Amino acid sequence: MIKFKTLGQADVGGKRVLVRADLNVPVKDGRVTDDTRIVRLAPTITDLLMRGAKVIVLSHFDRPKGKRVPEMSLRPIVPALAKAIGHEVFFADDCIGEAAEKVVEALKPGQVALLENLRFHDGEEANDPKFVRALAELGDVYVNDAFSAAHRAHASTEGLAHMLPAYAGRQMQAELEALTAALEHPKKPVMAIVGGSKISSKLDVLNNLAAKVDVLVIGGGMANTFLNAQGINVGKSLCERDLADTARGILANAKRNKCEIFLPTDVVMAAGLKEGIDTAVCDVKKVPDDMMILDVGPATTLALKTKLNSCKTLLWNGPLGAFEIKPFNAATFDVAHHAAALTKAGTLVSVAGGGDTVAALNGAGVTDALSYVSTAGGAFLEWMEGKDLPGVKALG
């Protein structure tokens, strides 16, 4: 892991501290509907305010592509942020220039302001030096607490770290420490569960993990592609048949690295993906041509849980089945509850991340019971691929 300075090492008293956050949260009818990212940001802001900093929060929201789009304003975030930190939050109608400067200049130690959407300027995503300088002029210290945006080399995630004394925020620090513990310096044996619909979106993840973990569990639609590559009929299930050679290459890579690949031995199938439809369990080698595999079966689930009992570290990205629709959430929820119980017992370090994974864990009610659950999407995947993240590297 890259060595970086943490918030505790920063001298912030009376200083203007630019905090890069990720406030790209769900908003409906002008109200935040999921404040998870905001709540996780609160410890960093609270720490800075208690130490007498003037806190200036920077974030993107959606993809306005360098133009001012009213419905992509960060203004609706203000009430939720104020509630999370227990302080009034001032708002600037721009993130650079006179509007931002006026709000920042008025800040007193122990106060916080949120600046308008960074992506209203095309200089943000272009990492334009001029835009970086305009942001840097508003602060004395830079804190990055947005791991979920760390895979982008943007002005506020990478450029600013080279212009001001740079530190990792509390959330960024926790995320990096958890991910390092799970993959770079894990307690062995290590199991990774990788699910989802397509292997084409996770080729680098699978190959990187096959060289690093002891057991690689492949679930979701991805498993069908691997089964097909081994000559097993998957009926009318989601399957990337054109990637059979690729799947076999991943299997060979795992074998070279003595990584066990865990695939379903039985499955839950149905004629289509909808709630209330008739389902059946069958051996994975006996799926009829007119049926779809929509979840792993009970024997597979039991075998997975048994194998997990002997592991010390779990890394999880992606569901085992079509969890959004009952009863195809059964295996994912069952394994999630088991992982939570092992974590609570102190025998397992469990780290999970990715949008679908977080949604599944929320559905199972175990998000807070695992060691760490990342709200990052792309950044979490790129880290699993073994790539350097520009926003993290810049802190080193």
Tokens of 189: 């044996």
What does the alpha-carbon distance between residue 214 and residue 186 come to, in Å, rounded to a whole number?
11
Give helix then strand counts, H and E, for the chain. Answer: 14, 17
What does the alpha-carbon distance between residue 292 and residue 272 come to, in Å, rounded to a whole number?
6
Active site residue 378: yes
Using alpha carbons, select from 226, 218, 223, 214 the residue that is nearest to residue 259: 214
Catalytic-role residue among 37, 40, 152, 212? 37
Active site residue 355: yes
Burial (0-12, 13-18, 19+ Cβ within 10 Å), 313: buried
Active site residue 391: no
Catalytic-role residue among 68, 75, 198, 312? 198
What does the alpha-carbon distance between residue 260 and residue 179 come to, in Å, rounded to a whole number?
22
Q: Can you list the alpha helix ranges (DSSP code H) found in the chain?
A: 36-50, 78-85, 97-106, 122-126, 129-136, 170-179, 203-210, 220-229, 244-256, 298-309, 330-344, 355-364, 378-384, 390-393
Quick check: 140 and 115 in contact, CB under 8 A? no
Catalytic-role residue among 66, 110, 249, 355? 355
Q: How far apart are the first and last CA of the chain?
A: 10
Residues belonging to the active site = 37, 198, 355, 378
